[in-house]
Amino acid sequence: METEKTLRKGRDGEIYIVEKLKTLGFRVFYPEDRFSFSDRILLSPDGRFYFAQLKHKNPRYKRHDTGMSVRQYNKYLEEQKRYFVKMIVLFTDDTGSIYGEWLDNLESCNPVVDFNRKDNYNMIFWLVDKLKDYKELFKC
């Protein structure tokens, strides 16, 4: 039951971010299987394509950071290099804020790797205060 609730929350977060990106003039595409590492493909108003990873995650309480599995992060880095297309990682949370960073710039956002005992894998986290508002990332 918890997994279904988490998946629904993630889908709702993706839809929310997509709707906000559309208000900035982006066209948003759902990738085919060969791009399954990317949640969406974005076409900016000036004609540039980007891969987008969209996540709904509330920041951790003590450190006020957010993140993903190390395996996912490394996969995104590999695929970005493989396809020569920039990837943006955007988070939303229960406040409705949207923030993130270009994948190449996440290293400068004070990453911390922690072991997730519940799910038995390493996670990488970035301080929310070091991430940028999504409009700033696109210079809107």
Query: Rounded to 10 degrees, what is the CA torsion of 58, 91, 75, 130?
Result: -90
Query: In this predicted structure, what is the pLDDT of residue 99?
Result: 97
- Three-state SS at 40: strand
| pLDDT tens readout for residues 54-101 | 999 889 878 889 999 999 999 999 999 998 999 999 999 999 999 999
pTM > 0.75 = yes
Question: Among candidates 20, 17, 8, which has minimal Cα distance to 92?
Answer: 17
CA distance 102 to 100: 7
pLDDT higher at 9 or 92: 92
pLDDT at 38 > cutoff 60: yes
Question: What pairs with residue 92 in β-bridges?
Answer: 56, 98
CA distance 47 to 57: 29
pLDDT at 1 > cutoff 60: no
SS (H, E, C) 94-133: CCCCEEEEEHHHHHHCCCEEEEECCCCEEEEEEEHHHCEE
Give the residue numbers spanning the domain of 107: 2-137
CA distance 12 to 56: 8
Instruction: Give DSSP secondary structure letters for 49-71.
Output: EEEEEEEE-PPPTTT-EEEEEHH
CA distance 82 to 4: 32
Residue listed under structure tokens 């799910």: 119
What does the pLDDT average to over 106-129?
Answer: 90
Instruction: Give the total number of structural domains in the chain.
Output: 1
Query: In this predicted structure, what is the pLDDT of residue 86?
Result: 94
pLDDT at 42 > cutoff 90: yes
The CATH number given to whatever domain includes residue 25 is: 3.40.1350.10
